[in-house]
Amino acid sequence: MKVAICTPVYADVKAEFLVSLVNMVAASGNIVVNGARLEIRTFVSRGLLPMTRNIAAKEALDWEADFVLWADSDMVFTSDALARLLRHDVEIVGVNYPRRDSGLPSASVTTTKENAEAGTVEPVESLGLGLVLMRAATLRRLRDEARKERLPLFHFELRDNGYLGEDLFFFARCRRLGIPIHLDHALSWDVAHVADRLLTNRTDADRARWSIDDSGPVEARAR
């Protein structure tokens, strides 16, 4: 049973991610799915996100993977993350985490301590692709449909109010094809999104009104 771990890299690879990845791969050696042990291979591509995801997806499908795990290079997760996602036996399942730019949930719903402790797994409209497991057959179907539209599988779509990220673009296609998307709230409680931040002597309230530009600290402009 082949699992392709696809990691797109835009900037640097976070050290915490590397520790998570090594521990997860080491802990997954004894997993058996349908009577077969896992064979795991990582596929890393560097560049702009849509391009790197398309490249990694192609390499995973060319390898004839049975499952594809998207694991972004700025995510931190537990060593049993892959095992927990495989247990759900669904087409697509992933986690919820705060987005770096806004702090809003990456999924279309909110993960709370209550639904995490309850082990809730629920259908959602969309996820972030930071840690998502999908069947390769599902990914292949989505790729083939994208080719019919003469579009890539992952794509930034320009809109009047900005652009649609490659993750939301991807899951919009899933919804059009009736492919269910699931969210694991319990595992979501055990992951983290690495974000650089400024450390100053200011209070949180002061810091909210402050930013820097190339010339040094300045009062934050209207946002």
Question: What digits encode the pLDDT tens for the residues 99-150?
Answer: 887 788 999 999 999 999 999 999 999 999 999 999 999 999 999 999 998 9
Residue 45 pairs with which residues in a beta bridge? 8
pLDDT exceeds cutoff 60 at 15: yes
Residue spans per domain, the chain: 2-197
Query: Measuring CA to CA, which residue among 131, 130, 129 is closest to residue 153?
Result: 129
Query: Measuring CA to CA, which residue among 154, 23, 5, 20 is closest to residue 75?
Result: 20
Query: Measuring CA to CA, which residue among 87, 110, 108 is closest to residue 34?
Result: 87
pLDDT exceeds cutoff 90 at 27: yes
In this structure, CATH architecture of domain 2-197: Alpha-Beta Complex (3.90)
In the structure, what pLDDT confidence band is assigned to residue 160 with cuts at 50, 70 and 90? low
